[in-house]
């Protein structure tokens, strides 16, 4: 196949994968929410409709760089993704996962903080904050400008940091699950993690809830490192349940 149609096909396939992944993960956690916190999303139907609309639009945007890189990986040998588990020492597997999460967190913190500049907030980031309170469906509810900043991260990192294909799958799974659970409106992680030593450095729903309530604080994605270093960490938020 000519590169043009092949790249287009790859982008379509990636869009479908990201879109279906979103519907299954957000749908799954919304179902769980209905079981364990019945009525939490009551009256939020119009908002959820908008969250699904923006999220599926974001899936289409995420599919483009992912599709181009997947095509290049398959046909041109691009990227530092490896399939042979023996290509690097075993200790590198968890280290590579941590490196991806830390790099993504770093990019997210600074672009997110930037998007809270008033002008850019009105143009781009207000879409994400229109979810008041957010639901499990808000995981990818971004304006296209914000979606582009998120869509390029993993496709860029695979050219910079070597990673095993299985480790990459773990990174993507963590990204998906945390994106949904952080917006779900209740805390899924046990107290011992959230209130304990780990919770001082890890971001879960309790931390991100405060970002949606107070706006100019708690900008991080996975770790509280940058928020704490830059004095933007206001601590954990509260749920109305
Ligand atoms: Zn959010
Ligand atoms: Zn924000």
Whether residue 155 is contained in a domain is answered as yes
Which ligand has its closest atom nearest to the C-alpha of 215?
Answer: 2
Work out how many domains the chain is built from and give that number. 1
**In this structure, how many other beta carbons lie within 10 angstroms of the beta carbon of residue 98?**
14
Q: Identify whether the C-beta of residue 80 lies closer than 8 Å to the C-beta of residue 159.
A: yes
Which ligand has its closest atom nearest to the C-alpha of 142?
Answer: 1
pLDDT tens readout for residues 80-131: 999 999 999 999 999 999 999 999 999 999 999 999 999 999 999 999 999 9
User: From the CA of 106, how far away is ligand 2's center (Å)?
Assistant: 15
Q: What are the C-alpha distances in Å from 57 to residues 145, 167, 184, 194?
A: 11, 27, 20, 32
| Per-residue pLDDT, 236 | 96
User: From the CA of 212, how far away is ligand 2's center (Å)?
Assistant: 7
Q: Is the pLDDT of residue 1 over 90?
A: no
Whether residue 202 is contained in a domain is answered as no
Vertex 56, ends 240 and 224: CA angle to 5°?
50
User: From the CA of 68, how far away is ligand 1's center (Å)?
Assistant: 27
User: From the CA of 129, how far away is ligand 1's center (Å)?
Assistant: 7
| Distance separating alpha carbons of residues 125 and 241, to the nearest angstrom | 27
| Distance separating alpha carbons of residues 93 and 98, to the nearest angstrom | 9
| Bigger pLDDT: 35 vs 241 | 35
Q: Identify whether the C-beta of residue 75 lies closer than 8 Å to the C-beta of residue 165.
A: no
| Per-residue pLDDT, 2 | 87
User: From the CA of 213, how far away is ligand 1's center (Å)?
Assistant: 10
Whether residue 197 is contained in a domain is answered as no
Whether residue 217 is contained in a domain is answered as no
User: From the CA of 221, how far away is ligand 1's center (Å)?
Assistant: 9
User: From the CA of 170, how far away is ligand 2's center (Å)?
Assistant: 25
Q: Is the pLDDT of residue 167 over 90?
A: yes
Domain encompassing residue 56: 3-81+90-183
Whether residue 205 is contained in a domain is answered as no
Please list, residue by residue across 118-141, b when 16 or more beta carbons sit within 10 angstroms of its beta carbon and e when fewer do: eeebeebbebbbebebbbbbbbbb
User: From the CA of 149, how far away is ligand 1's center (Å)?
Assistant: 14
Average pLDDT of the segment spanning 162-173: 98
User: From the CA of 158, how far away is ligand 1's center (Å)?
Assistant: 25
User: From the CA of 201, how far away is ligand 1's center (Å)?
Assistant: 18
| Per-residue pLDDT, 241 | 62
Share of the chain above pLDDT 70, in %: 100
Whether residue 15 is contained in a domain is answered as yes
Whether residue 236 is contained in a domain is answered as no
Whether residue 237 is contained in a domain is answered as no
User: From the CA of 181, how far away is ligand 1's center (Å)?
Assistant: 10
Structure token pair of residue 2: 């000519």
| Per-residue pLDDT, 240 | 73
């Amino acid at each position: 196949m000519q590169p043009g149609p092949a790249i287009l096909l790859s982008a379509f396939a990636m869009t479908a994968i990201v879109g279906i992944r979103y519907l299954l993960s957000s749908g799954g956690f919304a179902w769980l929410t209905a079981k364990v916190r019945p009525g939490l999303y009551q009256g939020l139907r119009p908002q959820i409709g908008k969250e699904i609309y923006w999220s599926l639009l974001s899936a289409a945007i995420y599919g483009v760089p992912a599709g181009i890189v997947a095509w290049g990986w398959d046909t041109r040998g691009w990227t530092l993704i490896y399939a042979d588990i023996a290509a690097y020492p075993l200790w590198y597997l968890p280290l590579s996962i941590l490196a991806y999460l830390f790099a993504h967190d770093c990019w997210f913190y600074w672009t997110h903080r930037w998007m809270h500049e008033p002008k850019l907030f009105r143009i781009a980031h207000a879409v994400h904050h229109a979810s008041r309170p957010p639901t499990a469906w808000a995981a990818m509810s971004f304006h296209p400008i914000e979606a582009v900043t998120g869509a390029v991260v993993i496709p860029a990192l695979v050219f910079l940091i070597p990673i095993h294909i299985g480790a990459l799958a773990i990174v993507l799974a963590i990204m998906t699950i945390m994106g949904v659970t952080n917006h779900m409106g209740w805390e899924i992680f046990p107290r011992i993690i959230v209130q304990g030593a780990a919770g001082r450095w890890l971001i879960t729903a309790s931390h991100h809830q405060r970002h949606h309530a107070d706006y100019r604080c708690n900008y991080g994605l996975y770790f509280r490192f940058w928020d704490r270093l830059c004095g933007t960490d206001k601590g954990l938020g509260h749920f109305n349940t």
